[in-house]
């Protein structure tokens, strides 16, 4: 039995829920069991937002993550709030252009990615989230990069056609990111 619990946290407007949806859909086409649970309520209007995604090869129990295997932190409060909850041997993805703090744990793997800065340089400022997701795909063979386009195509509404290519660009940037 393999289960991966992914917690994505940041500000509303950073595409937290969207990146979670992307991962969940990717899991779906990989024929995994998945659950996606958003935070909801006033925080969606610009406060903190977070999203729980679980991928498993057996039916998902609770969709609520208390001990994530993967944490994607898109702002400092989120990192500080959840850093200690990450499972031993887990992964933490930090948007290092927005977060100065360092993770002071040696039992987890940490990826510092200046995603917001990279996104700005490429003129896709709102897609820092997908840069990090691109890197996560690279690290997770059960998800892999194959089929990412299919997922993007199904998630981006037809009215925003141009965003499809930009999302793919962001994912590639993350995939190829080297420290």
Partner 1 sequence: MAQRILMKGNEAIAEAAIRAGCRHYFGYPITPQTEIAAYMAKKMPKIGGVFLQAESEIASINMVYGAAAAGVRVMTSSSSPGISLKAEGLSYIAGSDIPALVVNVQRGGPGLGGIQPSQSDYFQATKGGGHGDYRMIVLAPASVQEMASLTIKGFDLADKYLMTSMILADGTIGQMMEPITFEDAEPKTYEKPWALTGTECKRGHNVVNSLYLKPDELEKKNFERFEKYKHIEENEAMWEEYMMEDAEVCVVAFGIASRVAKNAVAAARAEGIKVGLIRPITLWPFPNKAFAKVLDKVRAFVSVELSMGQMIEDIRLATECKKPVMLCNRAGGMIPGPDEVLAAIKKAEKGEF
Binding site for partner 1 (CB under 8 A): 21, 24-25, 28, 33-38, 40-41, 60-64, 66
Rounded distance, CA 119 to CA 41, Å?
28
CB closer to partner 1, 44 vs 163: 44
Query: Cβ contacts of residue 57 below 8 Å, gap of 6+?
Result: 1, 2, 3, 32, 33
Please state the closest distance from residue 43 (CB atom) to partner 1, in A: 11
CB closer to partner 1, 120 vs 149: 149
CB closer to partner 1, 30 vs 122: 30
Please state the closest distance from residue 119 (CB atom) to partner 1, in A: 26
CB closer to partner 1, 1 vs 162: 1
Please state the closest distance from residue 33 (CB atom) to partner 1, in A: 7
The radius of gyration computed from the CA coordinates of the chain, to the nearest angstrom, equals 15
CB closer to partner 1, 17 vs 124: 17
Locate 10 and state its tokens: 């940041």
Rounded distance, CA 86 to CA 104, Å?
12
Please state the closest distance from residue 29 (CB atom) to partner 1, in A: 9
Please state the closest distance from residue 97 (CB atom) to partner 1, in A: 29
Rounded distance, CA 118 to CA 57, Å?
34
The kind and range of the H/E element at 23 are: helix 16-29
């Amino acid at each position: 039995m393999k289960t991966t619990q992914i917690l994505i946290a940041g500000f509303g407007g950073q595409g937290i829920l969207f990146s979670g949806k992307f991962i969940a859909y990717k899991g779906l086409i990989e024929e995994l069991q998945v659950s996606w649970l958003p935070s909801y309520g006033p925080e969606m209007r610009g406060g903190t937002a977070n999203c729980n995604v679980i991928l498993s090869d057996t039916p998902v129990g609770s969709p609520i993550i208390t001990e994530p295997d993967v944490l994607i932190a898109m702002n400092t409060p989120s990192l500080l709030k959840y850093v200690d909850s990450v499972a031993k041997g887990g992964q933490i993805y930090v948007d290092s252009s927005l977060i100065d703090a360092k993770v002071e744990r040696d039992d987890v793997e940490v990826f510092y990615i200046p995603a917001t800065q990279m996104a700005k340089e490429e003129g896709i400022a709102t897609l820092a989230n997908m840069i990090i997701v691109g890197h996560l795909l690279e690290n997770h063979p059960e998800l892999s990069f194959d089929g990412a386009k299919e997922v993007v195509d199904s998630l981006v509404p037809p009215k925003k056609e141009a965003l499809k290519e930009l999302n793919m660009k962001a994912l590639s940037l993350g995939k190829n990111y080297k420290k």
